[in-house]
A and B are shown apart, each in its own frame.
Chain A
């Protein structure tokens, strides 16, 4: 009797998760017919939160990079969307172009920012975001904090516009999620996981830590840029403070810490939870933010692995399988 090792990458839990995700995608895609323009707007908000949470989680959870200034990519993408559509480009093409610009900006930024450690990187990104904010304010089109709107989007009827924006948001979110999933399952993904678990150890077995971090950083920049451009398309108004504001970082921190650092599932749960909380409590203004901060600190100190850190181990197998499952089958 010899034991044979059978290597699989999924299981029942992951099939159920896939079914749930597919169902969610169908419901979101059908939102314009069931919930109208308002519903589509909320659906875009949810997708933007998902993008922000998943990307910030990839950055903090996988690359070990806490950034206070991801608003750099969020705000710049919204700004370039305004600028490009003002120059005559179709607004939806402008959004796609801004996502590409976000990727390039991410790459350029990574060339010098990744040499900073922990807290230096965190605030250094904040300085960059603040610098971009100040420069955007200098643009005569923006007029400081007065801001402007994505006027050219008015060329579409409101129903058409809200539906297209939602579907574009859905496509971009799925594309970014798929890219992250593929990345994590690739050989680079093993390197990322190694860096996450033990940076020194990963370095000692020959993992190129900076390259690995750069890949995650550029992906996070791209996804966050997509979120910024979509937020603009959904809300039309561009006021620099509303895009570069540090409250976005607070949202990302909340979603990721509550959901679970270092797991895609955690980020998804965090985003949905944040969406629900925001729907009910956003009207409480500053107290709402006090609550978000408080819950985030509580999770950081008491449950650093978040809700998924509690749920995940209680499920048979992984929900979003990025590793390998090795079973011994006797033949």
Chain B
């Protein structure tokens, strides 16, 4: 059974439809990448799944339970975490306080602040540092840690590598692979096609609100991904 199961999701900004009936599913321990150019509707899709944006039609199921009608904070409490674009930490709170806020889901699970520090050893020494003073890579680690603190079954990440140094991106993906190995379903939006091709278990490309390509890495190529990003169908849609 899929952890995250989206059926025919539609969402708009005012009169402008941003997401046209997108369906996807992510299994436990699977990493699905959503790719596409700016304005393809990726962020709106993620926000609609997380309940931060109202979907017009379609359904969202988490571990088989329909959460379409739930408000964002109830979805989070059901085990769906979103790491937003730009990390969105609370800059004047410390790393520890930011991580502790992740516990707001009130879910039972293995994660404690100490466990996060074990998983991300570089955060331990930043315990009392204000989150606003951290580097982009450190902030991304805190943001992922904050999501884990809520003991989610699925994590959605928007623009993971945006604004990070190459070393920080490597570090972030190392962390994400470990999260995946714990059996958490990951839905990742990424601009870096090459990175996606080498990391993903499954790939989706969106253009103007439609899915233009859906394939496993083995069955597609960098060129096909790039073409699909601009809406050119190369006959590889699943």
**Touching in the complex, A and B, CB below 8 A?**
no
B-side interface residues toward A, CB under 8 Å? none
